Amino acid sequence: MLVLTRHVHQSIVIGQDIVVTVLEVRGDQVRLGITAPKEVQVHREEVFAALSAANRQAATSAAELDVLSDVAGETGRTVSSDRPGEPQAG
């Protein structure tokens, strides 16, 4: 981990197009401003963790649905997309 000391209104540059600026220091909180291209996602760590968990869950659910679809294809039954995991007679 790189540790830097910055004062209010000072910045650091990441790569060629991301700038992090210290906007305010109030007690034990630091307000940062981040300038980055639109294609670069910037999230607080806890939001990023929640998004990652939701994406993992969605991927797992999709994989389970694929397995059910494969099984249904072998048995000649269809799987309803409205209620994943419950094969319906087709």
The whole model's pTM is what? 0.61
Structural domain count of the chain: 2
The predicted pLDDT at position 58 comes to 80
**What's the Rg (C-alpha) of the chain?**
23
Q: Are residues 82 and 49 in the same domain?
A: yes
Six token digits for residue 64: 């389970």
User: What are the tens digits of pLDDT across the range 7-60?
Assistant: 999 999 999 999 999 999 999 999 999 999 999 999 999 999 999 888 888 877
3-state helix, strand, coil in the chain (%, to 5): 35, 25, 40
Q: Which residues form the domain of 51?
A: 45-88
Same domain, 57 and 81: yes
d(CA 56, CA 49): 11
